[in-house]
Each structure stands twice: as C-alpha cells, then as structure tokens.
C-alpha cells in the first residue's frame, strides 16, 4: 500500500552546486546525487520522487537561494508558517 | 555683518550655509577648532556631529553619510589625512561627494604643528590608490575659508567627487573679519543615494568593478568628469601682474606674504606681480601661461621642498625661467627673504 | 492526486536574476557548501517576513561577501575593508528609519576593523551586525584570520597557529559583551540542522530589535569554508561542530534592554539663528566710529601664558574691524601656547592685508622681560615698545624706538585683579598710538564681557592705562 505523500522537493539542476549538504541533512533520506553531471560538471542533488515530508530542512541547509523549492500537500489542516517549519526542524 | 572669526571656525560657518548635515572627525592640531565648531553648531540645526575613534573611521563614516546623500564633511591635518587617503580613494571610486579640510602642519611623520604646505602632492596628486583626483581649493583668508568651503560642497556635488580645502595652520588659526551671506543653499536632489526607501532600493554604492572592461569604462567615466572640471573649474587671482617683470606664484598663507613682497618690491623699483592659484586641482595652467607671457622670471614660493612648483613648470615649460624659494618645518617665508631672492634673480638675469 | 503548495522557495528579497554578476547569473559566486549562502538566505527570509525590504540598507564588506549586493534586492552600500560598521553608523544616523545591516567576515570585523566594531558597539549604534566567523581568510586564499584556531594550518601559519607568535583566537562576542551599550549579542553555528535553526532565530531577533529601535545587535555565525579548509561540505560542517564550537562557545552573551541615561540636549535653532544672521541689524554694516587713522599698524603682543596676550590682540582686531579697518590676528598656537610663552600678531590697515605675519612690528607690547629681549630688536625704526614694568632694563636700548614702561600688571594688582593687566596695557596703547578710539574699546568690552562686575573692572583697567600714560612727563611720551 502506497504511503500518503506529504511533501515534494524540487531541485534546480542549474542552480545546485552539488555540495550534498541537503542529501546529508534530509531526515527521510529521500535526496540523492544525480548520476549525470550538470553543465557545471557537478552531480546535482535529486529528489528520489517519494518520501518527502515537506519539513524544509534541505532548504535551510542549502547555501543557494533558489536551488531548492519545498512543497507540502495542500490544503493541510493548518497553515504551516516558516516559523513552524523551523520549529519542526529543531525538534 | 562682519564678525571677527577664526579660519577654522569659518569653515564650519560656511559649511552650515552650504547645508552641511553631518561632520565626522577626529581631533588634531591645528585643525581641532573645526571639529569643535561642528560639535557646537551642527546638533543645534538638526545635523550630526560625531567624534570618531580614528581618522580611518571618520572618513568611512563620511562615506556612509555621503552614500545616504547627505552633505557631509571632515577635517584633519597631515597625519590624519594620511590615514584618510584610503577612504578618499573609495569615495572618489564610488563617486561620493564630500568635503575634506586639511589644515596642513609640518611633516613628515609627527613633524610639528606649525604651518607647512607639504601635503600638496598627497592631495593634489592623489595620495590614495588608483586613478582619481580630488578637487582641491586653497583658501588664503578667513573669508575664503568660509566661501571656499561653500564652493567645495557645490563642486563635490557637481562632480560627485571629494573636494578638499588645502590650507595651513596659520590660515586655520588666524582671525579676520568674516562676512556671511545669509543665503542657505538647499542640498541638491541625489536620486542615486541609498536611503533605505522604496525609491532608492535599486541603488548601489560601490567602488568595485571586477571585470577589467567594466573597471576601464568606470575609470574613463571618471576621467571625462575630471576633464570637464579642468575645463570649467580652474580659479586664480592676479595682483599687480599687468606690467610685472617678475611673477610670484604662491597659494594660501604664502600668497599673503607674496602680496606684501610684491608691494614692497615695487616700492624699491622692481615691477613684481602675484599669481595665486585658488584651485590647485584643476591647476589654473592656462591662466598662468597668460599671466607669465611677458615676465622675465617666475618665482614660486612654497612652504614645502617643492611640490606645486612642478605644476608651474609643467604649465610654463620653456616659456620663462621658473625659480623656487622655500621655507619648511613650520617657518613661513619672510617678505624680506622673498625680496632678496627676487633681486638676486633679476641681478643674475641682467648680468 | 494530492495538491501541493510552496512552503520554502527563493526569497523575494533576492533578485530573480543576478544581473550585477558578469556570468552564471542564477547562481551565487560562493563555493559549494559555503556558509555565506545559508546566512544570506536566513537574512533574506527575515527581511521578507518582517516586511523590511524597502527599508533595508545592506553594507557589504571586503571578503567573500563583498558581492552580497549581487543578490540582495535592497539598498546596497559596499564598504572598504574593515569599515562596514563605521559606514553603517553614518548611514543609520542619516536615515534613522532605515534598517542598516553590516555584514562582515572575521578578517574584516575582528582584524582590520576591530576598532570600528568595538566603537560602533560601544556607542550603541542601532544597527545589526552579522559576523561570519570561518576562522580563515577565504577570499585571499586561506591566510590566518584573527579567529584561526590554535594549531590550525593556514597559508600564513604553515606550522599551525602558534599562540607564541600569533596569539590566541579572538572571541568577539565575549569582548563586546563587556560593553555597556549593546542590547543583543549571540553566537550561533551552521554546524547541523538544529543550530541552523537557532541561527535563523537569532538573525530574526536581531532584526526585530533594530526594527523596534532597541540598539546595537550582533550575531556571530560560525560558518564552514569547505574549499579553503580543504574539506568536503559535510566534513566542513562537522568541523564547525567539533572544533569551532569548542573554541567559540555558542550562546547568548547579551540580551537586555539598555536605557540611555538622560543627557542635556542642544537647543534646536535654524542656521540663520546659530550664525547670528537672523537678527543682524542692518546698521552694523557701517562702523559706528570710522577711524580717520590711515596708518598701518603692525602690533606684536608677547608674554607669558595667562597674561591675556592673545585676548588683548583679539580685542584690538575686533576694535579695528568695528572702526572699518582691515584687520588680522595671528596667534602662536599649540604646545607653544601651553608651554608658557605666547604671542600674537595684529595688523590694522586701511588696505587689504598681505602677510598677517609681522616680521617688524611698529608696536611691540612686551608683557615680560623675556619677550622684551626677544622681540625688541625686530621693532622698526620709529616704532614703539610698551613694556610691562616701571623701568626698562638699562642694557635694553633700541635706536630710534621709543620704549614706554607701563606697569600694567602692577596697576592691575592695585585694582585687585592681576588678570586685567592686558586691559591696562590696552588703555596705554590706545593713548600712546591713537590708532583706535577708547570708546570702541568700551563697546567691544561690553560686547564680550558678560559679567557686569568683570566689565566694570575691565573699564577701570582701561582708564588706568590711559591715565598712567597721561601723567607721564611729556618728554617720556
């Protein structure tokens, strides 16, 4: 039985520098290095396509302003603000 | 209304009339009365006065205030000006207007606190790094300390560049009648400034241009500005120069001595005139060439071992012999010394 | 199919495209895994959340973050190395409504800019400083920073930082926390998810404090520099956790309201008012008593500090001005002034004055014997000397110069105030020279001396000097 999806992460391969911090930090471990080299000659991070909880940790550890966009399933029972995401990440 | 005023105080009175909004400085003899006057006046009229922790901090505060579009100034003397040179380079590079007053004292090093003119190279020729110029004015009286401060603010804004008053301990410390125009100039609009508003959000103040082509374009832009200043801004004063056989050239306090020397020499039968540069950069070279057209000799007198004399020689080339007389270390050339030198020149030229 | 909404994306406080950057305009110039990008994002997020984008002025330093203005869509000012907090000081004072951020690295803030940060903090400038500490000079290729750890190898500490040669790492938060004025100082680290979130909180708090006008705030952020440390981004992150935090303990070093004590405030007036232009009477343009005296006076006054030498000169100059003359007053100044001897030059003329420096006075006022001996030989033939004694030393003889012994100090003592000796001398000088009128002297004294007892004394002194001269035998005049 498929797990109900809670979040989704999108990584821009033209912005990602392949540092891997998001891959290391992701709690459900749903990010990997892309096998293919990007035009910059690095292996960018890639979402495996499932398992994302939308917690936002990858976003905060990523040094690039726009490389990662995090989505959550909508409508959630309550509006999740950035502050709460932060708190969730702290826990 | 005429009032008896100290040169250093006149600077701030002129600055207030020019709409100066902020002063950041650090005390040093013989310039401290400028900071003291700023501390007294500016807070009363809603301006900012801050005694910084150093001249380095002061000139960078000037950079900050100028970035926000304020009419801002500082003042110091040789040793402090040395510390400000980096900041002047940044101000010129970032095209920020400001006014800096150097009340020159004896150098090098700690030197002494008596008047000298040995900072000419440091301010007229640069001093900081890179391709830039300061607009340099040389007041010779208390009245000019005020008037040229006002002009300096205007020129600084017109060219978006630091303007400097190069003066000395005597002009700073002496008192003379000062007449202030009761006209207060509102500072001009500065749409390029960064003020923390929606309208100025897109603005950037910087002096860094990483790409060689970009920096070259920027330097050429500055160069064009400086060329325009060279066309429009040279200022000078002539005294008894019409029929002169010998032309004296000096600025600031020296020009005052030379004025007396010219008068005295004429009493003794030698036709002597005076050429006084008011702007040291741009140097009034063309006017000097014209003034020296029919003279037999030019005598440059400075309180340095020979700095402005290079610009005089550059202006006159082979046109007429250029001689030099100087006193340094805080000594001011005496009228009788100058005259002795002049008569010696004339004797040599005749025989 | 589930519907998704964006919860974290590029902040609108960053430019969509980095047009100020020459190429790769959708990437920062920072290395993979660099802490700067993380801090930039935390700052941008806070600026957006607090709705401060239009009000923010971001001061970028020299160091890797010199180009922060490529990214932040706010007002940007780039500062010289180490001077961001000085520049920020003046920006905030010029624009008190703005939010001023100084962003500085360890070399910038804690080496070359140590003085500026300490004094900005000490003045309590209501700015926010974000201090990125990565224990190394990144931009210049890996030289020692003031925060480089003991033993840490850099290109300028090839054997590791040795305290005996380079001293110990500088702890900025601890240092600044000794000051009175700062309201908030905290050190955080980009060492793991949890600490990044603490950094986020600290950055937010600092900017909220500035928004609320609280005072100086600084957040130090221990930050990885994988490239220069020669580590992978994850190794670098772990090195922050294992090594940097041990040397730079995390925590809040200052978090309190600071109430500035009440102090006297300057009055608020207009420029015309402070310069006395507002109420200047029109008749002041023409002197009340125009001097008919066309002679040129070159007066040198010399004596000992405290004898009122400089003031006497100023009074003469002021009088000359009021009588429509050209005047100049030139003092000896500086240490000379403090070390005892003092002199000044006063020129009074009907023409524009050339040199204010008097080589050969036609009047010398010598308030003591040293001054008499020093300057008497310079007096021009036909000139006069006023000497502050009953008798002139027998060996002082100047051909063609009249020497008057005026016991000014003695007469002042008789009036009960030694300090008015200079005014006694003034009375004598006016009587002997006729250069200026005694009435003008009284007007000037009335204008300068506000205390009525002192004024009465000065006027007595003035008359005493005049009367002393008048009683001299004619041949002595």
For B322-345, what is each residue's pLDDT tens digit?
999 999 999 999 999 999 999 998
pLDDT at C462 (0 to 100): 98
Q: CA–CA distance from C265 to each of B49, B163, B238, C122, C275 (Å)? A: 13, 32, 48, 20, 19
Task: Kindly state whether residue C98 falls inside one of the protein's structural domains.
Answer: yes
Is B272 in contact with B301 (CB distance < 8 Å)?
A: no
Q: CA–CA distance from C52 to each of A30, C11, C80, C211, C405 (Å)? A: 35, 13, 25, 8, 77
- Residue C416 sits in a domain of what CATH number? 3.40.920.10
How close, in Å, is residue C247 to chain A by CA atoms?
Answer: 23
Q: For residue C73, what are its two tokens?
A: 């869509």
Answer whether B2-232 and B236-350 agree in fold: yes
Contacts of C328 in chain B (CB under 8 A): 174-176
d(C-alpha C91, C-alpha C109), whole Å: 18
| Burial of C23 (C-beta count, 10 Å sphere; 0-12/13-18/19+) | exposed
Is B261 in contact with B270 (CB distance < 8 Å)?
A: no
Q: How far apart are the first and last CA of chain C?
A: 118
Same domain for C390 and C337? yes
Is A91 in contact with A27 (CB distance < 8 Å)?
A: no
Question: For domain B236-350, which architecture applies?
Answer: 3-Layer(aba) Sandwich (3.40)
Q: How many CB atoms lie within 10 A of CB B68?
A: 29
pLDDT at A80 (0 to 100): 53
Which one of B50, B64, B196 has the shortest CB-CB distance to C97? B196
Give the chain C residue nearest A67 (alpha carbons).
C10
d(C-alpha B78, C-alpha B117), whole Å: 10
Contacts of C66 in chain B (CB under 8 A): 208
pLDDT at A87 (0 to 100): 55
d(C-alpha B78, C-alpha B174), whole Å: 19
Average model confidence (pLDDT) across chain C: 94
d(C-alpha B113, C-alpha B61), whole Å: 26
Q: For residue B305, what are its two tokens?
A: 């071992």
What letter does residue C110 receive in the DSSP assignment? I
How many CA atoms within 13 Å lie on the side-chain side of A77?
0
* Phi, psi dihedrals of residue B299, rounded to the nearest 5°: -120, 115
Contacts of B116 in chain C (CB under 8 A): none
Q: Which ipTM score applies to this complex? A: 0.96
pLDDT at B191 (0 to 100): 98
Buried/exposed code over C302-340 (b: 16+ C-beta within 10 A; e: otherwise)? bbeeebbbbbbbbbbbbbbbbbbbbbbbbbbbbebbeee
Same domain for C71 and C134? yes
Which one of C7, C28, C201 has the shortest CB-CB distance to A65? C28
Contacts of C45 in chain A (CB under 8 A): 82
pLDDT tens digits for range C165-189: 999 999 999 999 999 999 999 999 9
Is B28 in contact with B3 (CB distance < 8 Å)?
A: no
Cβ separation C9–A66 shorter than 8 A = yes
Mark which of C238, C255, C272 sits at the end of a domain.
C255
Task: Kindly state whether residue C17 falls inside one of the protein's structural domains.
Answer: no
Cβ separation B4–C321 shorter than 8 A = yes
Q: For residue B206, what are its two tokens?
A: 């910087």
Task: Kindly state whether residue C384 falls inside one of the protein's structural domains.
Answer: yes
pLDDT at B210 (0 to 100): 93
Contacts of C26 in chain A (CB under 8 A): 12, 14-15, 66
Same domain for C50 and C133? yes
Give the chain C residue nearest B20 (alpha carbons).
C271
- Where are the alpha helices (H) located in C376-476, listed in sequence order? 408-415, 421-433, 438-448, 452-471
Cβ separation C232–A20 shorter than 8 A = yes
Q: For chain A, list residues whose CB is within 8 angstroms of any CB belonging to chain C.
A: 4-5, 7-8, 12, 14-15, 17-21, 24-25, 42, 54, 56-57, 59-66, 68-75, 80, 82, 85-87, 89-90
Q: How many CB atoms lie within 10 A of CB B132?
A: 22
Per-domain boundaries in chain A: 7-90
Which CATH number does A7-90 carry? 3.30.70.20
Q: For residue B6, what are its two tokens?
A: 């100290």
Bridge partner residues of A9 (DSSP): A70
pLDDT tens digits for range B133-184: 999 999 999 999 999 999 999 999 999 999 999 999 999 999 999 999 867 7
In percent, how much of chain C has pLDDT > 70? Answer: 95
Contacts across the A-C interface (CB distance below 8 Å): 124
d(C-alpha B92, C-alpha B62), whole Å: 12
Same domain for C443 and C349? yes
pLDDT at B39 exceeding the cut of 90: yes
Is B261 in contact with B272 (CB distance < 8 Å)?
A: yes
Q: Does B286 touch chain C (CB under 8 A)?
A: no
d(C-alpha C152, C-alpha C244), whole Å: 11
Total number of domains constituting chain C: 2
Cβ separation A8–C37 shorter than 8 A = no
Residue with tokens 């000065």: C458
d(C-alpha C441, C-alpha C424), whole Å: 12
Query: H or E segment at C271?
Result: helix C271-274
pLDDT tens digits for range A20-49: 999 999 999 999 999 999 988 999 999 999
Top residue of B16, B47, B62, B67 to mutate, by most chain C CBs within 10 Å, is: B67
Q: For residue B327, what are its two tokens?
A: 């006193």
Contacts of C356 in chain B (CB under 8 A): 170, 174, 176, 253, 256
Q: Does C235 touch chain A (CB under 8 A)?
A: no
Same domain for C87 and C42? yes
Q: Where are the beta strands (DSSP E) in C51-147?
A: 56-60, 75-78, 99-105, 128-133, 136-137, 143-144
- Of B93-97, B181-185, B223-227, the one with minimum mean pLDDT is B181-185
pLDDT at B1 (0 to 100): 78
Mark which of C209, C232, C255 sits at the end of a domain.
C255
Separation of CA C145 from chain center: 29
pLDDT < 70 regions, chain C: 1, 279-289, 334-339, 475-477
pLDDT at A91 (0 to 100): 45
Kindly report the CA angle at C64 between B203 and C114, in degrees rounded to 5? 90
Task: Kindly state whether residue C21 falls inside one of the protein's structural domains.
Answer: no
- Where are the alpha helices (H) located in C172-225, listed in sequence order? 172-176, 193-211
What letter does residue C148 receive in the DSSP assignment? P
Give the chain A residue nearest C14 (alpha carbons).
A65
B190 closest CA partner among B99, B94, B66, B87: B66
Is C39 in contact with C199 (CB distance < 8 Å)?
A: yes
Q: How many CB atoms lie within 10 A of CB C279?
A: 8
How many CA atoms within 13 Å lie on the side-chain side of C53?
14
C385 closest CA partner among C302, C475, C464, C283: C302
In which domain, by residue range, is C412 found?
Answer: 292-476
- Of A2-16, B16-30, B155-169, B226-240, the one with minimum mean pLDDT is A2-16
Cβ separation A70–C9 shorter than 8 A = yes
Q: For residue C311, what are its two tokens?
A: 């003031």
Give the chain A residue nearest C42 (alpha carbons).
A60
Per-domain boundaries in chain B: 2-232, 236-350
Which CATH number does B2-232 carry? 3.40.50.970
């Amino acid at each position: 039985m498929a797990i109900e999806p809670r979040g989704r992460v999108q990584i821009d391969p033209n912005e990602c520098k392949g540092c891997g911090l998001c891959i290391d930090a992701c709690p459900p471990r749903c990010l990997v290095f892309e096998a293919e080299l990007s035009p910059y000659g690095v292996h960018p991070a890639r979402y495996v396509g499932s398992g994302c909880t939308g917690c936002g940790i990858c976003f905060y550890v990523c040094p690039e302003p726009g490389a990662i966009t995090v989505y959550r399933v909508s409508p959630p029972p309550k509006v999740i603000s950035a502050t709460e995401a932060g708190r969730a990440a702290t826990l | 209304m005429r009032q008896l005023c100290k040169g250093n105080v006149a600077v701030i009175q002129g600055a207030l009339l020019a709409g100066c909004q902020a002063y950041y400085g650090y005390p040093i003899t013989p310039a401290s009365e400028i900071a003291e006057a700023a501390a007294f006046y500016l807070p009363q009229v809603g301006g900012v006065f801050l005694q910084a922790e150093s001249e380095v901090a002061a000139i960078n505060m000037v950079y900050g205030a100028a970035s926000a579009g304020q009419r801002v100034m500082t003042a110091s003397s040789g040793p402090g000006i040395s510390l400000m040179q980096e900041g002047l380079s940044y101000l010129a590079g970032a095209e920020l207007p400001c006014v800096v007053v150097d009340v020159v004292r004896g150098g090098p090093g700690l030197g002494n606190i008596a008047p000298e003119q040995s900072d000419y190279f440091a301010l007229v020729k640069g001093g900081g790094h890179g391709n830039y110029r300061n607009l340099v004015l040389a007041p010779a009286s208390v009245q000019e300390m005020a008037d040229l401060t006002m002009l300096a603010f205007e020129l600084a804004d017109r060219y978006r560049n630091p303007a400097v008053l190069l003066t000395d301990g005597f002009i700073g410390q002496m008192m003379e009648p000062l007449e202030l125009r009761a006209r207060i100039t509102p500072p001009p609009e500065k749409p390029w400034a960064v003020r923390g508003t929606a309208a100025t959000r897109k603005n950037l103040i910087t002096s860094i241009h990483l790409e060689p082509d970009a920096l070259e374009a920027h330097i050429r832009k500055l160069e064009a500005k400086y060329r325009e200043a060279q066309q429009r801004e040279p200022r000078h004063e002539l005294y008894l120069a019409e029929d002169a056989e010998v032309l004296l050239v000096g600025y600031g306090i020296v020009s005052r001595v030379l004025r007396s020397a010219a008068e005295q020499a004429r009493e003794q039968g030698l036709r002597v005139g005076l050429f006084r540069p008011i702007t040291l950069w741009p140097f009034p070279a063309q006017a000097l060439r014209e003034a020296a057209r029919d003279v037999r000799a030019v005598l440059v007198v400075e309180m340095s071992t020979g700095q402005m004399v290079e610009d005089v020689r550059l202006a006159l080339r082979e046109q007429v012999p250029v001689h030099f007389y100087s006193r340094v270390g805080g000594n001011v050339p005496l009228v009788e010394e100058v005259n002795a030198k002049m008569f010696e020149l004339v004797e040599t030229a005749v025989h | 199919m589930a519907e998704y909404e964006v919860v974290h994306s590029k902040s609108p406080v960053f430019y969509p495209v980095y047009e100020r950057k020459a190429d790769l305009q959708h990437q920062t110039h920072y290395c993979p895994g660099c802490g700067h990008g993380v801090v930039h994002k935390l700052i941008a997020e806070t600026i957006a959340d607090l709705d401060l984008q239009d009000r923010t002025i971001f001061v970028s330093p020299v160091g890797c973050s010199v180009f922060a203005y490529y990214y932040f869509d706010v007002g940007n000012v780039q500062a010289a190395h180490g001077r961001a907090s000085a520049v920020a000081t003046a920006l905030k004072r010029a624009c008190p409504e703005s939010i001023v951020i100084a962003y500085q690295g360890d070399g910038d803030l804690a080496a070359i800019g140590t003085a500026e940060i300490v004094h900005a903090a000490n003045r309590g400038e209501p700015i926010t400083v974000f201090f990125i500490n990565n224990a190394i000079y990144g931009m210049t290729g890996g030289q020692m920073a003031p925060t480089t750890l003991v033993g840490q190898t850099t290109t300028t500490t090839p054997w590791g930082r040795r305290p005996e040669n380079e001293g110990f790492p500088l702890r900025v938060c601890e240092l600044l926390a000794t000051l009175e004025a700062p309201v908030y100082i905290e050190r955080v680290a980009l060492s793991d998810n949890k600490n990044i979130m603490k950094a986020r909180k600290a950055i937010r708090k600092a900017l909220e404090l500035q928004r609320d006008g609280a005072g100086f705030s600084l957040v130090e952020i221990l930050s990885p520099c994988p490239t220069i440390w020669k580590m992978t981004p994850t190794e670098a992150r772990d090195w922050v956790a294992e090594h940097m935090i041990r040397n730079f303990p995390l925590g809040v070093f200052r978090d309190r309201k600071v109430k500035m004590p009440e102090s006297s405030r300057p009055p608020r007036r207009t420029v015309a008012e402070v310069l006395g232009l507002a109420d200047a009477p029109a008749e002041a343009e023409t002197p009340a008593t125009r001097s008919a005296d066309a002679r040129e006076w070159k007066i040198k006054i010399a004596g000992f500090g405290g004898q009122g030498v400089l003031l006497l000169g100023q009074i003469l100059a002021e009088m000359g001005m009021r009588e429509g003359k050209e005047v100049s007053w030139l003092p000896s100044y500086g240490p000379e002034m403090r070390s005892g001897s003092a002199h000044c030059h006063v020129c009074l003329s009907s023409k524009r004055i050339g040199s204010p420096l008097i080589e050969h006075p036609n009047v010398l006022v010598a308030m003591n014997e040293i001054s008499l001996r020093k300057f008497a030989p310079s007096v021009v033939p036909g000139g006069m000397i006023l000497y502050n004694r009953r008798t002139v030393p027998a060996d002082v003889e100047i051909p063609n110069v009249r020497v008057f012994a005026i016991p000014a100090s003695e007469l002042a003592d008789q009036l009960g105030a030694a300090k008015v000796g200079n005014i006694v001398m003034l009375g004598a000088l006016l009587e002997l020279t006729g250069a200026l009128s005694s009435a003008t002297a009284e007007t000037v004294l009335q204008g300068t001396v506000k205390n009525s007892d002192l004024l009465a004394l000065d006027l007595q002194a003035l008359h005493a000097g005049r009367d002393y001269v008048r009683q001299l035998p004619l041949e002595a005049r």
